Amino acid sequence: MDIVQLLHDLTGFYNLSLGMVFMWVVCVVLFYLAVVKEFEPLLLIPITFGAFLANLPCENMWNAPGVDPATGHVVAGGLYYYIMQGIHLELFPPIIFLGVGALTDFGPLIANPRTLLLGGAAQFGVAATYQCAYYFMGFNEGESATIGIIGGADGPTTILLAGKLAPHLLGAVAVAAYSYMALVPMIQPPIMNALTTHAEKRIRMKSLRPVGRAEKLIFAAMSCALTIMLVPPAAPLLGMLFLGNFLRESNVCDRLTKASQNEIINMTTIFLGTSVGATMTAENFLRFDTLKILCMGVVAFGVATAAGVLMAKLMNLTINRSNPINPLIGSAGVSAVPMAARVSQVVGATHDKQNFLLMHAMGPNVAGVIGTAVIAGYFIATLK
């Protein structure tokens, strides 16, 4: 009897629930996808490990600071209470964007600014999924916006928006966003092939003109000012994105650029991922809504892909008749950088080995990053 009492008092076994054990199974599946199938492992492993920790009976990892009623002493909070403030205070996603900006070359977009329209068109996937989730799936406005933004294929933006508008969906939308980003090479090609003719797939685009340092710096500063004035709530994301990019393109801040591209983004990724995973407790995640979110995520990706391709076709019929663009780069308007651009290259090369679409697709791809942040800012401004 004493041993049973001791087990009860000192160990966590008695706090285990069936839901926790079921979540371990979910974690095993996610670990398999991340480690064996290499589905966005840099993010899926921290997220899954956070989920695993959240479903172990270890309260002192998460408890908030307080006062011990017996002694009156202040008791410090658990480790992840403090680390998760990075999400609650909306610090991690903008810091990730600093690294994204430092890693991104906006040259292809500057050289071919009409691809901005393709990045914008892909946001139609976000808008359509928002409408669908709100009118047909029973989600409220904030939840619908959070689910729709999955179609933007931008993890940090999705997490930021979820943190603001639907914190209880954070784990589910993050898993959906990162899983589907990893599945971009499988989700996009059938849609791209179905919506384009053989001749369209073989369109060779003119070489991009070189873009100088001054042009890139002016672009970063002006885009920063313009987008923030347009959508002020997106300032944390866009400000850090263009700060990172300005550091990169200045060519005089090598140490800061490299730190942003490596140590800062890597460290933040670990804490962001585990914090997001920590929201995936059994009671939060094992709900019918999670399944609906996973289904809506695919819809969002598919519609965004189709909208980009169709916009490219429309542009070829109207403003681009003399200098057509290959509609396959339209799909890169979803912002998964640079994976969506790689998909454009791979699909194009299967129809013409001498056709190199990669750098052309980077234009809509980076435009998609800006577009998703702008639409997230719009949602925050109108729904919060």
Partner 1 sequence: MTCPLAGSVFKVVTSVGASVQEGDTLMILEAMKMETPITAPCAGTVKSVDVAQGQTVNEGQVLCTLG
Contact residues for partner 1, defined by CB under 8 A: 207-208, 338, 341-342, 345, 349, 353-354, 356, 358-359, 362
Nearer to partner 1, 241 or 343 (CB): 343
Number of H-type helices and E-type strands within the chain: 22, 2
Report which DSSP code applies to 140.
Answer: -
Q: How far is the CB of 268 from partner 1 (least distance, A)?
A: 20
For the chain, how many residues are written?
384
Nearer to partner 1, 94 or 348 (CB): 348
Q: How far is the CB of 353 from partner 1 (least distance, A)?
A: 5
Q: How far is the CB of 11 from partner 1 (least distance, A)?
A: 46
Strand partners, 66: 75
Query: Among 376, 358, 320, which Cα is nearest to 105's?
Result: 358
Indicate the burial class of 343 (C-beta count within 10 angstroms; 0-12, 13-18, 19 or more). Answer: buried
Q: Is the peptide bond before 113 cis (omega within 30 degrees of 0)?
A: no
Q: How far is the CB of 356 from partner 1 (least distance, A)?
A: 4
Q: How far is the CB of 343 from partner 1 (least distance, A)?
A: 10
| Residues 191-228: b if buried by 16+ CB within 10 A, e if exposed | bbeebbeeebbebebeebeebeeeebbebbeebbeebb
Nearer to partner 1, 257 or 344 (CB): 344
Nearer to partner 1, 54 or 367 (CB): 367
Nearer to partner 1, 87 or 359 (CB): 359
Q: How far is the CB of 40 from partner 1 (least distance, A)?
A: 14
Query: Among 189, 228, 209, which Cα is nearest to 110's?
Result: 209
Query: Among 218, 153, 160, which Cα is nearest to 185's?
Result: 153
Instruction: Provide the 10 A C-beta neighbour count for residue 179.
Output: 21
Nearer to partner 1, 292 or 351 (CB): 351
